[in-house]
Amino acid sequence: MKYSKLFGRTRHTPPCDADSVNAKLLTQAGFIEKLAAGIYNFLPLGHRVLTKVCNIIREEMNAVEGQEILMPALHPVEIWEITGRRKTMDEILYKTVASGEKEFVFGPSHEEVVTPLAAKYIQSYKDLPLSVYQIQTKFRDEPRAKSGLLRGREFGMKDLYSFHADEADLDKYYEIMKGAYLRVFERCGLTAYVIEASGGIFSDKFSHEFSVETPAGEDIIIICKKCGIAQNIEVAKDHKDGVMHGKTLEDLKKGIPCPKCKENLSEIKAVEAGNIFKLGTKFSKAFGLNFANNEGKLNPVVMGCYGIGTTRLVGTIVEAKHDEKGMIWPKSVAPYLVNLISLGNDENVIKEAEDLYKKLSDEGIEVLFDDRDETAGVKLKDSDLIGIPLRIVISKRTLESKGVEWKERTNSESEIVAISSLIAKIKEFQK
């Protein structure tokens, strides 16, 4: 892609109303554009990142036998009344009235849709277990829409729903999904802690959150950095198995030993990047989702649900991967692998840059070619802001040594690499 033709450009300064690192950098770099509080346009650079995040999630969900479907965002209000969540979630539901005075809600989640859908296809134990998922837009009237992509009113989500014959089978799959989630975050360049938390509006039982450490985090997490125990502050303080049961944050600066290894516990701020719940039979009983066991007896199906905010994950990566110059995208989700930059108006430089751009593209290497008529300072500053993993600069000086300047975004030093060996070196870097 040539930068001169790119829809969405960098800005000299971040938007004045941006209240988080991800909102500032993603907007300033031309990845997203705010429409209203908690509602964003994804421009080409941002959409490329989001697509790669979704593809990683899709691959990991397919690997644990998830089958992808797509459910409607517009739900008849009656199905929300069946579960009682029309009332308990009323504050965040977007509602509309269609022709014939039919009331609908815009889906904040899809338990009310997927459960009766599954009931049409699950009749016996032979149909279980089953896992289906979608990657789709959700709507929640967040009273505190803030922090860029971290807390939106319209946002992308992957939600998977699993159906089982009993709790033991759910427990087994639940652990499999923990592993799948950790692989998703690892492939996105993040380290996530598995946190025990409240089930909230989704389950009466405890759930697990996957939290990424960042100063922008809305959650306080208590962790043992030695053995890996981690709990949300509410669970850590109030649950009978909480690692801080009965203690305060003041007690934690004094030192509270981990119940497992006796190392002192630590407090961190983190962003919730995903969550999983054991729903049990709450929704299957509401919709009559039963199966016949091997003796012909009807039993309610046991359910689990597993969510990752796709757009939220993009924002989380930025919060965790940036410096004072801009974003630092992991190779797996970067909009492009290479940022090719030509400096100056020398005809030979321009020709060599165009030739190299074509060669890289022909080799299937993703390249953003900054061919603009701008100063070196502007181009290099924009490159750091956009945060593409590898910067290749061609100038009159580099061509004197028949090379290019090679600089990785994570390194402070650059080097001259011969043009003749460049493609091979980039392919090695790509691994």
Mean pLDDT per block of 10 residues along the chain (431 residues) reads 96 87 97 96 98 98 98 97 96 94 96 98 98 98 90 96 98 97 97 75 66 81 82 73 72 77 85 93 97 97 97 96 97 98 95 97 97 96 98 97 97 96 97 90
Provide the pLDDT for residue 232.
Answer: 76
| Domain shared by 94 and 229, yes or no | yes
Q: Look at residue 333 and tell me if it is in a domain.
A: no
Residues 316 and 343 in one domain: no
Nearest Cα to Cα of residue 284 among 166, 135, 133: 166
CA gap 21, 280 in Å, rounded: 38
Task: Provide the pLDDT for residue 201.
Answer: 43
Same domain (yes/no): 292, 368: no
Asked whether residue 282 falls in the same domain as residue 371, the answer is: no
Residue 181 lies inside a defined structural domain of this protein: yes
Q: Domain check: are 373 and 288 in the same one?
A: no
Is residue 159 within 8 A of residue 136, CB to CB? The reply is yes
Are residues 304 and 353 both part of a single domain?
no
pLDDT at residue 298 in the model: 97
Q: Do 84 and 201 fall into the same domain?
A: yes
Structure tokens at 353: 């840059």
55, burial (CB in 10 Å: exposed 0-12, middle 13-18, buried 19+): middle
Residues 348 and 297 in one domain: no
Boundary of a domain, candidates 261, 293, 320: 320
Instruction: Using the 3D structure, point to which of 320, 351, 374 is the last residue of a domain.
Output: 320
Q: How far apart are CA 431 and CA 427, in angstroms?
A: 7
Q: Are residues 312 and 393 in the same domain?
A: no
Note whether residue 46 is domain-resident.
yes
Q: What Å distances lie between residue 311 and 143, 331, 358, 387, CA to CA?
A: 19, 18, 32, 18
- Is 305 in the same domain as 355? no
**Residues constituting the chain:** 431
- With vertex at residue 203, the alpha carbon angle to CA 199 and CA 206, rounded to the nearest 5 degrees, is 40
Question: Are 342 and 350 within 8 A, CB to CB?
Answer: yes
Which is nearest to 107 in space by CA: 116, 97, 119, 94? Answer: 94
Domains identified in the chain, total number: 2
Residue 329, in any domain of the structure: no
Q: Tokens for 383?
A: 């490159």
User: Could you tell me if 139 and 153 are in contact, meaning their C-beta atoms sit under 8 angstroms apart?
Assistant: yes
Using the 8-state DSSP alphabet, how is residue 7 labeled? S
As a whole number of angstroms, the distance between CA 188 and CA 430 comes to 15
How far, rounded to the nearest angstrom, does the alpha carbon of residue 74 sit from its chain's CA centroid? 23
Assess if residue 325 is contained within a domain. no
- CATH number of the structural domain spanning residue 83: 3.30.930.10
Residue 391 lies in a domain: yes
Asked if residue 329 lies in contact with residue 319, where contact means CB atoms within 8 angstroms, the answer is no
Q: In this structure, are 241 and 376 located in the same domain?
A: no
Residue 380's domain is classified under what CATH number? Answer: 3.40.50.800
Q: Which amino acid is at 3?
A: Y
C-alpha neighbours within 13 Å on the C-beta side of residue 3: 24
What is d(CA 386, CA 55) in angstroms, rounded to the nearest whole number?
21
The whole-number pLDDT of residue 203 equals 46
Contact status, residue 389 vs residue 337, Cβ threshold 8 Å: yes
What domain range includes position 123?
11-320
If asked whether residues 369 and 423 sit together in one domain, one would say yes
Q: Residue 363: which residues within 8 A CB-CB, separation 6 or more?
A: 423, 427
| Boundary (domain end) residue, out of 253, 288, 320 | 320
Q: Is residue 327 part of a domain?
A: no
Whether 2 is covered by a domain: the verdict is no
103 burial level (CB within 10 Å; 0-12, 13-18, 19+) = middle
Q: Model-level pTM greater than 0.85? A: yes
C-alpha angle 115-50-94 in degrees, rounded to nearest 5: 45
